[in-house]
Amino acid sequence: MAVAVTGAVAGAVTGAIVVLAVGAGPARADDGGEKLFTFRDSRITESSGLAVSPGHQGVYYTHNDSAAAAVFYAVGGDGRTRATFHVRGAQARDWEAMAATKDPETGRGVLWFADIGDNLDGAWPDISVYRVDEPETLRDATLSATRYRFKYADGGRNAEGVMINPRTGRLYVVSKEFAGSVYAAPKKLRADRVNVLRKVAGAPVMATDAAYAPDGSSYVIRTYFSATLYRPSGETISRVTMPELRQAESIAYTADGKSLLTGSEGAGSPVYRVPIPDRAREAATPSPAAAAPSEDPPGRAAETAADTASGGSGLTAKDVLIWLAAALGATGVITFIARKTR
C-alpha cells in the first residue's frame, strides 16, 4: 500500500534526524564555550537568527523561524527582551537567518533578515532579504524595510545562512544541503528586480547559519555538528568545537571578533560564547598586502578556486556515521507510520 508522506510526517522525520544527529536535552558546557544567557521571552520559541547589535553595547538581536510574523527582538545580556520590533511590509515565509553590519557612509547599524528557507528546494519562485536600519532607541516600534529579491543561477535551494562581508559590503547566502554552497549576490543590489545569486564556494553538509568576522578576515559556517572557519577565498582555516545543542541554528561573531556566539531553537534556549582558538585567529589575520578592501573574485574562476579550496567541507568520518544513523532512524519512522496507516 502506498503511503503519502504528509507535512506532519516530514516534520517527524526531520525531528528524528535532528535528535539522532545532535541529541536531545539541554546544552552541555563541557563540549566547548560558556553559556552567555538564556532567552527569557516566552515569544522566542524558535530563535533561528542571531546578531550582535552594531550600535547598542551588550544587545543581541534574534527572530523566530517559519510560521511567525515579521518581528525581531532586541535582547540584553541577561536574556531579557529590551524591545520588540515589527517590520512593515515584510513577509516571513521562513526567516532563517540575519546579519548585522554598519553602513560605511553613515556609520549607522544595518540589520538584514533572510527569508530564504525553502524545504521543497525550489517551491518559491524567488527568496527575499530585508534591509532594516537599526533603531536608534530600544523601545517597541514598527520599522520600514527595503526588500531585495533573489533567485539562484543554478536552480532553487533551501538555505539557512546569510552573511555580509564588512569590507566589500557583498551579501552571501549559504545553502543547506548535503553538498552545500556559498552564493554571492551582485555587488550592487537592486530593489526593483530580482537579483541573481551565483555559486562561489562550497559549504559544509547541512549548514544552518553563517557569519562574517567584523574585520572581514574570515567567515564561519555552522552545522548541526560543529563550526568551520574560512578565509574569504573559501579556504578552510579550522574547525571550532561547539557546545551540544538541541537544534543548533545560529552563529555570529562577537564584536571584537575573538569569539563565536551560537544558539538553538526551542523555548528558553541558550546562547553560548565559544572562544576562537588563538591559532585559528592568527591564521585568519590578513597580511598587510591583503588588508585593503578588494573586489570579490568574479565568475567561474572564483567558483573553481573556491570549490578546490573547500575540501574543508566540515564533514568528518564521525559526521558520516551520525548521518547514516540518522537516515536509518528516519527510515524507521517512515516504516512505523506506514504500518500504522494501513
Q: What is the pLDDT of residues 99-115, one digit of tens each?
A: 999 998 889 999 999 99
Calculate the CA dihedral of residues 213, 26, 59, 47 and round it to 10 degrees: 80
Has residue 97 got a pLDDT over 80?
Answer: yes
Convert 309-329 into a string of H (helix), E (strand) and C (coil). Answer: HCCCCCCCHHHHHHHHHHHHH
What pTM, to 2 d.p., does this model score? 0.79
123-175: per-residue pLDDT in tens? 888 999 999 999 999 999 999 999 999 999 999 999 999 999 999 999 999 99
3-state secondary structure of 170: coil
209-260: per-residue pLDDT in tens? 999 999 999 999 999 989 999 999 999 999 999 998 988 999 999 999 999 9
Q: What is the DSSP string of 194-262?
A: PEEEEEEEEE-TTEEEEEE-TTSS-EEEEESS-EEEE-TTS-EEEEE---B-SSEEEEEE-TTSSEEEE
Nearest to 197 by CA among 311, 263, 120, 114: 114
Q: Where are the domains of the chain?
A: 31-317
CB atoms inside a 10 Å sphere around CB 4: 6
Hey, what's the cell of 322? 551520525
Interval 259-284 mean pLDDT: 94
Hey, what's the cell of 184? 554571492
Band of pLDDT at residue 120, cut at 50, 70 and 90: confident
Interval 11-32 mean pLDDT: 40
Between helix 317-340 and helix 7-22 the angle, nearest 10°, is 140
Provide the pairing of β-strand 34-38 with 270-275.
Answer: antiparallel
Task: Please say whether the beta carbons of 44 and 64 come within 8 A.
Answer: yes
Per-residue confidence (pLDDT) for residue 21, from 0 to 100: 38
Q: Distance between CA atoms of 263 and 228, rounded to whole angstroms?
A: 16
Hey, what's the cell of 37? 544567557
Task: Please say whether the beta carbons of 136 and 110 come within 8 A.
Answer: no
Per-residue confidence (pLDDT) for residue 324, from 0 to 100: 52
Provide the pairing of β-strand 259-264 with 71-76.
Answer: unpaired
Has residue 339 got a pLDDT over 80?
Answer: no
Provide the pairing of β-strand 95-102 with 207-212.
Answer: unpaired
Query: Does the domain made of 31-317 have the CATH classification 3.30.2290?
Result: no
Has residue 334 got a pLDDT over 90?
Answer: no
